[in-house]
């Protein structure tokens, strides 16, 4: 029995290209000016202090150096907490100004409705901040989808997506045994970590998503989309 599903976003519920080709450039181009305009915000100060600690200082000694580091992390797609936090805040303003929308595959909406009708809990686990996740689904092409989702997990409240301990943390937060949980992702290393924690897994391999090199060897159950997972009797 699947008591709840936990879904990755990029390449799973949504297009990874939209994140890398639209959202990342949008935030990167605005980082310096946005931080300068919001530097008094305590959350911005905390993020900058985290970057400065990475650079060897306990205070925001050099905002320019911090911004350069954030831009570098963005170019590298680094899963760094302060970068993800600031990206989420910048994107939130972009959504409010209607300069941005989230992307969701049509079959994702079908899957969400199927699971909801069945009484299966639906949750999100992404490297992007919880704020960014919520804004993504709030501003989808299909309207506000947040009513179909319950919990949101990121690397700050759960841990790295390739660590089995993170999935144990999520299972504890959902108060469900690991065997009742299914994690769907397009990344085998994440699925490996979930399975090591006792979860069920589903590898989403979409023909619309670009893959670099040969597909990795994996024995995770494979699906072409999320609707296929939702309609299977015993995922």
pLDDT given for residue 234 in this prediction: 42
Phi, psi dihedral angles at 201 (to 5 degrees) = -140, 155
Bridge-based pairing state of the strands 4-7 and 181-185: parallel
Cβ atoms < 10 Å from Cβ of 104: 23
Which span out of 35-39, 81-85, 148-152 was modeled with the highest average pLDDT?
148-152
Band of pLDDT at residue 65, cut at 50, 70 and 90? confident
Phi, psi dihedral angles at 143 (to 5 degrees) = 90, -165
Please name the residues in contact with 29: beta carbons below 8 A apart, sequence gap of 6 or more: none
Helices (runs of H) and strands (runs of E) counted in the chain: 10, 6
pLDDT given for residue 61 in this prediction: 60
pLDDT in tens, 18-51: 989 999 999 999 999 999 999 899 999 999 988 9
124-148 b/e (C-beta count within 10 Å ≥ 16 → b):
bbbbbbbbbbbbbbebbeeeebbee
Cα 15–77–62 angle (5° rounding)? 140
pLDDT given for residue 217 in this prediction: 65
pLDDT in tens, 187-218: 999 999 999 999 999 999 998 887 655 567 67
Bridge-based pairing state of the strands 200-204 and 181-185: parallel
Domains in the chain and their CATH numbers? Answer: 4-15+102-231 (3.40.50.1000), 19-96 (1.10.720)
Phi, psi dihedral angles at 38 (to 5 degrees) = -120, 20
Backbone conformation region of residue 227, classed left if phi is above 0, alpha if psi is from -120 to 50, else beta: alpha
pLDDT given for residue 63 in this prediction: 85
- Best CA proximity match to 153, nearest among 66, 72, 84, 96: 84
Q: What is the mean pLDDT of the chain?
A: 91
């Amino acid at each position: 029995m699947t008591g709840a599903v936990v879904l990755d976003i990029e390449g799973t519920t949504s297009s990874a290209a939209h994140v890398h080709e639209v959202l990342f450039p949008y935030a990167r181009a605005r980082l310096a000016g946005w931080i300068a305009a919001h530097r008094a915000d305590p959350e911005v100060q905390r993020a900058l202090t985290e970057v400065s600690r990475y650079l060897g200082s306990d205070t925001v000694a050099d905002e320019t150096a911090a911004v350069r580091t954030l831009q570098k992390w963005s170019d590298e797609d680094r899963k760094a907490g302060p970068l993800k936090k600031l990206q989420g805040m910048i994107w939130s303003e972009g959504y409010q100004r209607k300069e941005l929308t989230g992307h969701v595959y049509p079959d994702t909406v079908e899957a969400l409705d199927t699971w909801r009708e069945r009484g299966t809990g639906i949750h999100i686990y992404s490297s992007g901040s919880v704020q960014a996740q919520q804004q993504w689904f709030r501003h989808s092409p299909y309207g506000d989808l947040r009513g179909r989702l319950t919990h949101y997990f990121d690397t700050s409240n759960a841990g790295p997506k390739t660590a089995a301990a993170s999935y144990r943390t999520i299972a504890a937060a959902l108060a469900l045994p690991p065997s009742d949980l299914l994690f769907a992702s397009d990344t085998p290393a994440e699925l490996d970590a979930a399975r090591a924690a006792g979860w069920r897994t589903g590898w989403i391999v979409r023909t619309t998503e670009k893959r670099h090199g040969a597909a990795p060897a994996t024995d995770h159950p494979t699906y072409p989309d999320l609707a296929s997972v939702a309609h299977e009797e015993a995922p």
